[in-house]
Structure 1
């Protein structure tokens, strides 16, 4: 087991994707700190891992504050003697279109996703650097942060910000031998269960069946277990040269997302004043404007009939 002797923190790991990440890290030999806001979920997850022969402790607390970040790192060190891996998965949704989104809706999502990632990574990196540990930071992004999605201003801002921080951390942490990467999962969760488009896939999984190929292959949509492998791999010594990447995974598909690059570059003597833009923008730039939102292939008729 390549993670034998390693210790990991996985935030938001009481259930769902986070629990799958924690269980895979344990299968590969790591001890884990389980974190969730729900004490019963934490207790259940810890008990399940221990029953299966793994090592786990729990911290029931909302991420966002420095105090929670410190308590998570302390739990790892006090119970297992060290910390090697941090997976920042904790999240919350408050989806509303812009004019309906309140300050509280926005602040909560930003605090949990973006600030929670920041405070936990800052605390973990401080421990890594102080103790000479070539640690692993794995932050969880989203396709929404890469492409945008209707009704998710707060979530899109948080997830795009996480990937931006990862790129910066990859630069700052490189000399310490610490890597920072983002994983962009596409998987059946409590959220996707409510989306009619994904219903046939989620229902197939609940029946213990393999999801239709359209989902696994064309959409790159799968189970939580399909995502867990890349988490454990990025946490391993074998991934020491993978840094600053945004890696998409779901179903049978694995992707490396590009970093933003200029789609077109043009120069104009004297600069781009208003009159010049009026005269030349359409001809020189209009064809290079970028699309927004995710674009899905057409669903096979037999699957479309299931959600009609």
Structure 2
């Protein structure tokens, strides 16, 4: 992967997955705008990248607003002359079950994840189109947006919306040579350490330095660095023909999520009233009902 002529913005890249993405892009030669809500955290990330021989600059600010999005794009142009890659990684959690989730809990997560993705991508695309030589959109989703997750109405909704936007952007941007893809990573971070199912295995990793195979292969969970290679690939010229896809990455596993599709179909002349639905349901639909939530190996759930 040769990214020496590329300039990237990575939102939420002061720590965790975002920092791993920024470091990997820089390792392959890209110049990176590091973004975090905290200036000292962003500065420390830049110092780490520069110390390793990379090129980076910091811009602090909470994503969500058009102002922050435009400042990020402007920083890339002012510091490094152009923009080629936008990675929308910034995120927060406000987990609560539906009946306890407040308007503020919902709005805060939607603003950072979904609106922040929208505003940053819009600003980046405006620059890409002005430059006239394509670009890369890499929007960070989550398995929670694909399958749902208990206590995450706001987060699951935002992440599902991000994948939906990516599919639309892939169609809208194709003629301009701009690709748009979603990446749904699973890694040991401050966010996942709070998940009871994962907690004992993460504690084991802290003691031994490794995760068990059931986590790395079956769950597809590893370190942030395990997910970063895909970001560098999608930013590169090698990925010019890949767009509109949703990837799953983590640990020892790389996979593609399917697009939603019809799984069972029936027809009734004149349409379906309630009685016709009830009559057809057992034979035509009951066996095709989809599960919800992520499905984990029995070996993992037995230890939880």
* TM-score bracket relative to the smaller structure: over 0.9
The worse-fitting range, judged by mean Cα deviation, of 123-132 and 187-196 is 187-196
SS of equivalent residue, structure 2 residue 266: coil
Report the CA distance between 1:247 and its aligned residue: 0.4
Structure 1 partner of 2:178: 178
Q: Please, which runs of 5 or more residues in structure 1 have no aligned partner?
A: none
How many angstroms apart in 1 are the aligned matches of 2:85 and 2:28? 13
Work out whether 1:90 is the aligned partner of 2:85. no
How many angstroms apart in 2 are the aligned matches of 1:151 and 1:282? 31
SS of equivalent residue, structure 2 residue 181: strand
Deviations 1:2-32 (A, max 9, x none): 1012100000000000000000000010010
User: Structure 2 matches for 1:153-302, cutoff 5 A?
Assistant: 153-207=153-207, 209-299=209-299
Q: Do 2:265 and 2:284's aligned partners in 1 also have CA atoms closer than 8 Å?
A: no
When the two chains are superposed, the root-mean-square deviation of aligned CA atoms in Å is 1.4
Work out whether 1:105 is the aligned partner of 2:105. yes
Q: Do 2:182 and 2:244's aligned partners in 1 also have CA atoms closer than 8 Å?
A: yes
- TM normalised by structure 2 equals 0.97
Change (3 A) 1:264 1:199: same
How many angstroms apart in 2 are the aligned matches of 1:6 and 1:145? 30
The worse-fitting range, judged by mean Cα deviation, of 277-286 and 222-231 is 277-286
How many angstroms apart in 2 are the aligned matches of 1:42 and 1:208? 29
How many angstroms apart in 1 are the aligned matches of 2:259 and 2:81? 37
- TM normalised by structure 1 equals 0.96
Report the CA distance between 1:204 and its aligned residue: 4.0
Q: Do 1:10 and 1:22's aligned partners in 2 also have CA atoms closer than 8 Å?
A: yes
Q: How many residues align?
A: 304
Report the CA distance between 1:208 and its aligned residue: 5.8
Work out whether 1:62 is the aligned partner of 2:70. no
Structure 2 partner of 1:123: 123
Report the CA distance between 1:207 and its aligned residue: 3.8
Q: Do 1:87 and 1:139's aligned partners in 2 also have CA atoms closer than 8 Å?
A: yes
Q: Do 1:36 and 1:61's aligned partners in 2 also have CA atoms closer than 8 Å?
A: yes
The worse-fitting range, judged by mean Cα deviation, of 129-138 and 88-97 is 129-138
